[in-house]
Amino acid sequence: MSVTVDVPETVTAALADQQVEGQVCLEAGAGVGNTTAGLLAAGAKRVYAVTNDADHAATVRDRIGDGNADRLAVVEADLRETPLATDSVDFVTAHGLCNVLPPAELAPIAAELTRVAKPGSRLVVDDYAVPPADAAVNRLFALENAAARVVDGRPALTFYPPAVLAAVFAANSWTVERRKTLLDPVPWTEAHLDAHAKVVREYAAGLPDVVGGPLVAMADDVASAIGSERTGTMYSLAFRLADV
């Protein structure tokens, strides 16, 4: 088993009580491949790592592709409509995916994940709870969402309470089997906050200077004023799909 990438503790903790060995897995929203690496390290038979971001797909291939070609398929696709066959996957993971999905995408993606999952299969959804009202990071996230709404007409970030995600998947015949806290508090490091300020810069690049300039200046000021912050929680929900 050739996986050399460090797997974050949140991923290891979320997968610890799940059957991964020998399973056909779908990692929904591959990002830079942390959960894909965790699934491969835990003995997955095959992992479909799906992302709609070409840079992320390339990063996953670079980080994890070597030595795993027989078990890893990086799929560039929209999770609302994947090329995967119906009833073809034993285990679905969505680690840190839902917070980057606007509400209108949640239901179609839940339906598509359900279509490709075999009856009786399992799903783990890990995400951030709504940050506390007094969290300083909210100021940076609000600027990120303001920039995203102006450019794309949709928010960049939406934090869903676990009960909301449980209800969205329950509507597709998934039952929650366990709930777990992965982080309490969440350590929002300087690197995390810089990454969020960078997103504001990327949106601002598509705006006239008179709008983009102040947004970037505010995001940089807020990120450097916060520095880092420990606040909020990250949770994990494990589901099983009805067997019929």
Ligand X SMILES: C[S@@+](CC[C@H](N)C(=O)[O-])C[C@H]1O[C@@H](n2cnc3c(N)ncnc32)[C@H](O)[C@@H]1O
Q: Does 105 bind ligand X (CB under 6 A)?
A: yes
Binding range to ligand X, per CB under 6 A, among 29-37, 63-71, 179-187, 207-215: 29-37
The region, left, alpha or beta by phi > 0 then psi within -120 to 50, assigned to residue 81 is beta
Q: Where are the beta strands (DSSP E) in 82-199?
A: 89-95, 117-128, 174-183, 186-188
Beta-carbon contacts of 208 under 8 Å, excluding residues fewer than 6 positions away, are none
Q: Does 110 bind ligand X (CB under 6 A)?
A: no
Count of H-run helices and E-run strands, the chain: 8, 9
| 7, 15, 18, 34: residue in contact with ligand X (rule CB under 6 A) | 34
Judged by DSSP in three states, 89 sits in strand
| 31, 155, 212, 232: residue in contact with ligand X (rule CB under 6 A) | 31
Q: Does 18 bind ligand X (CB under 6 A)?
A: no
Q: Does 212 bind ligand X (CB under 6 A)?
A: no
Q: Does 29 bind ligand X (CB under 6 A)?
A: yes
**Subset of residues 73 to 102 that bind ligand X, contact rule: CB under 6 A:** 78-80, 95-97, 100-101
Place of tokens 């050739």: 2
**Residue 75 C-beta: closest distance to ligand X, Å:** 9
**Residue 217 C-beta: closest distance to ligand X, Å:** 26
Site string for ligand X, 41-80 (x = CB under 6 A): ---------xxxx--x---------------------xxx
Q: Does 193 bind ligand X (CB under 6 A)?
A: no
Beta partners for residue 179, in sequence order = 237
169, 239 contact by CB (below 8 A): yes
Separation between Cα atoms, residue 111 and residue 227, nearest integer Å: 39
Q: Applying CB under 6 A, which residues contact ligand X?
A: 29-35, 50-53, 56, 78-80, 95-97, 100-101, 105
